Amino acid sequence: MSNPAPLVDPFQRAISYLRVSVTDRCDFRCVYCMSENMTFLPKKELLTLEELDRMCSAFVRLGVSKLRITGGEPLVRREIMTFFRSMSRHLDSGALEELTLTTNGSQLSRFADDLFAAGVRRVNVSLDTLDEDKFARVTRWGRLPQVLKGIDAAQAAGLRVKINVVALKGFNEEELFSLADWCASRDMDLTFIEVMPMGDLGGEDRVGQYWSLDDLQAQLASRFTLTDLPERTGGPARYVRVEETGQKIGLITPLTHNFCESCNRVRLTCTGELFMCLGQEDNADLRSALRGSEADAPLEEAIRRAISLKPKGHDFDYSRQKADGQVSRHMSHTGG
Ligand code: SAM
Ligand code: SF4
């Protein structure tokens, strides 16, 4: 089979990274992500596991080399290991460089070994606090010991773990150093994320929650010598090295620093919509193209059309003390 032309958007950005939300459901209800009473999509709206496979395989044929599985909570989707196992054929063929996932960690003790066997080598685990009560408050339904057990299982299985922390003003500010020390002591990478204005959460105060990572970095710098690292991954993260410990800390700052010029990624929802930009409403319906024909050519054509519409960037802006550029969907829908 001849190699098809790679995916390049109108701003000459090569698209090599697909994030796939495999479910909008979750066993937690994090306050910045979901409301307590979420209405989830009817099952028939979801792509089946076979359809997800066909969809992801089409992207891999078109040059996507990195696949991140997310949600909702990806590990609560029934039979999700069948999907991971089937995607591993693209790792075996060399077409895919990396298969990875973002998880809340609640199901990792069940699945860590299976994930490793399917070729997964790294997982991102979201964890905003090491205090059991605060954890219960921020996730509403989560239990910290279960997640810590999951992280133990992941490391025991040989998975490299990165901890993602949403920086929340007045919530985990005082845990900055304890989180950094904990990650360093367990040889885990650490990334902080600025809270983004996604979805209507029934009166949650976005501006009040917002803790600028410039402030966070200044606090880190009060104790450590930080060196900016040139390394970029095509996404919103930038990295600093803590000279005293060698630890690398990521900062995802969509609000204070624009990252769009190097964006290499698109996001597929569990219903087969492709979001070309996390911060814009524009999307393309790939499910119709997929269900409309057993041949893959119309789907590949629809993917190319969608990529040709990828916008230049997002419009999030808190500078006027309100959540400008807010998008109406929840993070769990697009996949964070
Ligand atoms: N359930 C999995 C988890 O929590 O890791 C995967 C999906 S979750 C939507 C992906 C990431 O998005 C998590 O790290 C979460 O903390 C982050 N997230 C959710 N809502 C957010 C928001 N409004 N602003 C910034 N990050 C958010
Ligand atoms: Fe669930 Fe992840 Fe959203 Fe928390 S951030 S509610 S764990 S999808």
The CA-atom distances, in angstroms, between 126 and each of 140, 151, 190, 193 are 14, 10, 10, 10
- Closest ligand 2 atom number to CA of residue 71: 8
pLDDT of 321 reads: 44
Domains of the chain: 17-334 (3.20.20.70)
Task: Give the closest residue (by CA) to ligand 2 atom 4.
Answer: 30
Mutate to test the pocket of ligand 1, among 166, 195, 213 (most ligand atoms within 8 A of CB): 166
pLDDT of 198 reads: 60
Cβ atoms within 10 Å, residue 134: 16
Beta bridge partners of 125: 103, 163
What is the distance in A from the centroid of ligand 1 to the CA of 71?
A: 9
Rounded average pLDDT per 10-residue block, the chain, 336 residues: 80 94 97 92 95 98 97 98 98 98 98 98 98 97 98 98 96 96 95 79 62 94 95 82 93 71 91 89 94 97 95 65 52 60
Query: Is the CB of residue 310 less than 8 Å from the CB of residue 9?
Result: yes
- C-beta of 269 in contact with ligand 1 (< 6 A): no
User: What is the reported pTM?
Assistant: 0.92
> In 30-61, which positions are buried (b, 16+ CB within 10 angstroms) versus exposed (e)?
bbbbbbeebebeeeeebbebeebbbbbbbbbb
**Which ligand minimizes its atom distance to the CA of 164?**
1
Q: Which residues fall within 8 angstroms of residue 173, CB to CB, at 6 or more apart?
A: 167, 211, 219
> DSSP strand E in 16-87: where?
17-21, 66-70
Task: Give the closest residue (by CA) to ligand 2 atom 8.
Answer: 72
pLDDT of 19 reads: 96
**Which ligand minimizes its atom distance to the CA of 126?**
1
Helices (H) and strands (E) in the chain, counts: 11, 12
pLDDT of 320 reads: 44
Dihedral pair phi/psi, residue 118, rounded to 5°? -85, 0
Separation CA 206–CA 234 (nearest Å):
26
The CA-atom distances, in angstroms, between 159 and each of 3, 147, 198, 276 are 32, 15, 30, 29
pLDDT of 232 reads: 76
pLDDT of 208 reads: 67
In the chain, where does DSSP find H-type helix? 49-61, 80-93, 108-117, 132-139, 144-157, 176-185, 206-209, 213-223, 286-292, 297-307, 331-334
Task: Give the closest residue (by CA) to ligand 1 atom 23.
Answer: 196
- C-beta of 125 in contact with ligand 2 (< 6 A): no
- C-beta of 62 in contact with ligand 2 (< 6 A): no
Mutate to test the pocket of ligand 1, among 22, 23, 27, 30 (most ligand atoms within 8 A of CB): 30
Q: Strand order in 283-285's β-sheet?
A: 226-229, 237-242, 248-252, 189-194, 160-167, 122-126, 98-103, 66-70, 17-21, 265-268, 273-275, 283-285
**Which ligand minimizes its atom distance to the CA of 34?**
2
Task: Give the closest residue (by CA) to ligand 2 atom 3.
Answer: 33
